[in-house]
Amino acid sequence: MSFSFKLATLLYSVCMLLPAAAQAQFARAEDAVEYRNGAFFVMDYHYDRIGDMIKGKIPYDKAVAESDAAIIDALGKLPWHAFTPNSITENSRAKEEIWQQKDKFKAAADKMQGETTKLAAASKTGDLAKLKTAFLATAQTCKECHDTFRKKKK
Amino acid sequence: MSFSFKLATLLYSVCMLLPAAAQAQFARAEDAVEYRNGAFFVMDYHYDRIGDMIKGKIPYDKAVAESDAAIIDALGKLPWHAFTPNSITENSRAKEEIWQQKDKFKAAADKMQGETTKLAAASKTGDLAKLKTAFLATAQTCKECHDTFRKKKK
């Protein structure tokens, strides 16, 4: 059994079992903030790299875009359970609205995950135009959520 | 095609294409540090939760352990390309030895990834004793690498 196949099998369990993993156990608000900031930062890096390809800042490389999109799609499942009640610290730009409008926040998170799945699919086509369309649709969901639920930078 | 199947297919491309993704493009040392700290922090959270199950602090739940181990195994592939030359900041505990002893550092990183793959396999057996063995073996690779390549906390 190849390494890649074994790893794929293991990753499959991430998908199957994510609801089970979505049980928050953060000892401190700072830990919850660091967890979700970490997941978002790693996502952002890979998202920005796809953006750089679309903008022509770096050459388009299907394999890199495909890997980036898959990482984005997988990591996009993780931050949400770390929005534990009252977990706003000096390192967090989370707004109170996250907890005041739980259903709206969940809907925004779900929408983003829907778009990252499409982004991952688009990355596999090798069609830069399709990648761009999915990239912009994903960006729109980021923006919508940030507009309502994230504080502006100081 | 189910959502889980589609996601698994996309995650499969992470495994196939990781070498392609391992091209660092960090504009600043701070970004490289935040990326790798983020990936390690998210890994640690899921690792600690498996540890809590093994120690009996929380009930053993096969599904949670399996998901945690799969996340650890996937994230364990990411931090290494972010150890860009001279990327030591006040937020980094990286030691100069990482760049002075590149082969040794790579061997330590590879060893850890070998053990996280075994951890993910052990998590699927549902056997807590096997999970513990793999958990301790993984912990040992963390420790070995930290002893040589990570500064002590101030």
Q: Kindly provide the ipTM of the predicted complex, given to two decimals.
A: 0.83
- Over residues B90-101, mean pLDDT: 96
CA B146 from centroid of its chain's CA atoms? 13
Minimum CA–CA partner of A46 in chain B: B21
Residues in chain A: 154
Confidence of residue B154 (pLDDT cuts 50, 70, 90): confident
Q: b vs e for A99-138, b when ≥16 Cβ sit within 10 Å of the residue's Cβ?
A: beeeeebeebbebbbebbbbbbbbbbeeebebbbebbebb
Structure tokens given for B89: 């900041």
Residue B113 has pLDDT above 80, yes or no: yes
Report residue B94: phi and psi, to 5°.
-65, 140
Q: Taking CB atoms and an 8 Å limit, are B4 and A15 in contact across chains?
A: yes
Neighbours of A139 (CB within 10 A): 15
User: Looking at the DSSP assignment, which residues form a beta bridge with residue A28?
Assistant: none
| Segment B9-37 mean pLDDT | 67
Per-residue model confidence (pLDDT) at position B86: 87
Which among B5, B6, B14, B125 is the top mutation candidate for probing chain A, defined by the most A β-carbons within 10 Å of its own β-carbon?
B14
Q: Does B1 touch chain A (CB under 8 A)?
A: no
pLDDT at A86: 87
A10-14, A94-98, A116-120, B56-60: range with lowest mean pLDDT = A10-14
- Give the pLDDT confidence score for residue A2 in this predicted structure: 43
Q: How many CB pairs under 8 A join A and B?
A: 152
pLDDT at A122: 98
A24: left (phi over 0), alpha (psi -120 to 50) or beta: beta
Residue B111 scores a pLDDT above 80: yes
Residues 97-116 of B with CB under 8 A from A: none
Q: How far is B83 from chain A (nearest CA, A)?
A: 14
Q: Which two tokens stand for residue A145?
A: 């959520």
pLDDT at A9: 43
Report the residue of chain B nearest A50, measured CA to CA. Answer: B21
Question: Does position B19 have pLDDT exceeding 70, yes or no?
Answer: no
Q: With 80 as the cut, is the pLDDT of residue A63 above it? A: yes
List of residues 6+ apart from B146 with CB closer than 8 A: none
Instruction: Please answer yes or no on whether B13 and A71 come within 8 Å at the CB atom.
Output: no
- pLDDT for residue A11: 46
Exposure pattern of A54-63 as b/e (b: 16+ CB <10 Å)? beeeeeebbb
Which one-letter amino acid corresponds to residue A151?
A: K
pLDDT classification of B15: cutoffs 50, 70, 90: very low
- A11·B13 Cβ contact <8 A: no
Between B74 and A9, the higher pLDDT residue: B74
CA within 13 Å, CB half, A137: 17
Q: What mean pLDDT, rounded, does chain A reach?
A: 87
Q: Which CATH architecture has domain B28-83+97-149?
A: Up-down Bundle (1.20)
Q: Which residues of A touch B4 (CB under 8 A)?
A: 12, 15-16
Assign residue A56 a region (left: φ > 0; alpha: ψ between -120 and 50; beta: otherwise): left
Nearest CA to B7 out of B64, B70, B63 is that of B70
Reported as a single tens digit per residue, the pLDDT across A124-143 is 999 999 999 999 999 999 99
The residues that bridge with B8 in the sheet, in sequence order, are none
What is the number of residues in chain B? Answer: 154
* B positions 39-58 inside 8 Å of A (CB): 39-42, 45-46, 49, 52, 58
For residue A18, pLDDT over 80 is answered with: no
- d(CA A140, CA B17) in angstroms, rounded, equals 27
Name the minimum distance, in Å, from the CA of A139 to any CA of chain B. 19
Domain boundaries, chain A: 27-84+97-149
Q: Would you call A33 helix, strand, or coil by DSSP?
A: helix
List % helix, strand, coil for chain B (3-state, nearest 5). Answer: 75, 0, 25
Predicted local confidence at residue B2, as pLDDT: 43
CATH class as words, domain A27-84+97-149:
mainly alpha
Rounded Cα distance between B143 and B154, Å, is 18
pLDDT tops 50 at residue B7: no
Higher pLDDT, A82 or A7: A82
pLDDT of residue A20: 44
Please state whether the predicted TM-score (pTM) of the whole model is above 0.80: yes
Answer whether residue B3 shows pLDDT above 70.
no
